[in-house]
Amino acid sequence: MIVLGIETSCDETAAALVNSDKHILSNVIHAQIEDHQPYGGVVPEIAARNHLVHIDSVINKALADAQMSLVDVDAIAVTAGPGLIGGVMVGVMVAKAMAATLNKPFIAVNHLEGHALTARLTDNVDFPHLLMLMSGGHCQILMVQSLGDYTVLGKTIDDAAGEAFDKVAKSLDLDYPGGPQVERLAKTGDVKRFLLPRPLKGRDGCDFSFAGLKTAARNIILAGEIKTDKDKSDLCAGFQEAVKDCLVDRLKQAFEMVSVDFKTVVLAGGVAANEYLRSALTSVCHDYGKEFVAPPLKLCTDNAVMIAWAGLERLMRGQCSDLNFQPRPRWPLTELKD
């Protein structure tokens, strides 16, 4: 079976074709970085308008790259939430129109489930597994029991990790998106120069908090302590080190909390592209006798491959959606269980 996936939840217009043999037949992403750079972050209205402009050409290119036409597709899967509602609506309306016109199954995919299941496509990860979902908008640790069955062990009580990276980068006048810029500068920085907090470290549970850490970094900037490129590198290194310590501590707490037998920890979301954090979490998993998996870098950030695959997982179980399904700006994973 072949599924066309469509992703428009934020600032990437994406389409991909994936088959049930776990082959990625095409993967097309139109990024809007240049459109949002002047604002230092994603502007929802601009993102939605750009999705409208580019979605047809992105889908057509995905089909051309796979050397297929729409008649070869068995189902249409699309991100139906959570996300910026304007963009989500663009993708859902296009997917519904295609499914209705072609008389193909329509599958409304939870964007977070797409991230949660990617490692099953790329690394054949079995259920159950522990998931660290870390991106600009989401920060959770979950137990993935089976398709649609997710238990949240902890989540951020304020900012997501990726959001904190981006906001610190913006305060330093770094280019958008900020996370990769912070990681790049941190490579030459002194992690010990600036004393930064580790919110919730050592506390029971798996919740996260990054607002205080972000504010502490910003206060150093506002105090005029960042004058040179070396100062920037040192602050980025210290900030990234503090985030790493928080993630490591929360993962260790999760190991203590979970009674289910599992062998794999999956890191997904845009923060999973940070190689420094990946390395630290790999080491922790090794100490606890767990396998650590993160998808290939191109599948960590938002993409349609993960939406097509999540759609396939549901299609293979006969789980399709009604064309009356309404796009959702908020859609917790815990609401997917039957």
DSSP 300-326: TSS-SHHHHHHHHHHHTTT--B-TTPP
Cβ 135 vs Cβ 116: under 8 Å: no
CB 284 within 8 A of CB 252: yes
Give the pLDDT confidence score for residue 176 in this predicted structure.
Answer: 84
Indicate the length of the chain as a whole number. Answer: 338
Consecutive 10-residue averages of pLDDT for the chain (338 residues)? 97 97 98 87 94 98 98 98 97 98 98 95 97 91 96 96 94 92 98 97 96 97 97 98 98 95 94 94 97 93 96 97 96 86
CA distance 314 to 268: 20
Query: What is the pLDDT at residue 158?
Result: 96
Q: Which residues of 281-297 are buried (b: 16+ CB within 10 A; e: fewer)?
A: bbebbeeeebebbbbee
Task: Determine the Cα–Cα distance for residues 144 and 154; give it in Å rounded to an integer.
Answer: 13
Q: CA 181 from chain center: how many Å?
A: 18
pLDDT for res 39: 85
CA end-to-end span of the chain? 24
Residue type, 92: V
Delineate the domains of the chain, giving CATH numbers in brackets: 2-116+301-336 (3.30.420.40), 127-294 (3.30.420.40)
7 with 304: CB under 8 angstroms? Answer: yes
DSSP β-bridge partners for residue 175: none
Q: What is the β-pairing status of strands 149-155 and 139-146?
A: antiparallel
| pLDDT at residue 71, rounded to an integer | 96
Sign of the dihedral through C-alpha 157, 161, 162, 164: positive
CA gap 278, 273 in Å, rounded: 8
Specify the pTM: 0.94
For residues 124 and 106, give the distance between their C-alpha atoms in angstroms, rounded to a whole number. 25
Three-state DSSP state, 49: helix
pLDDT of residue 338: 62
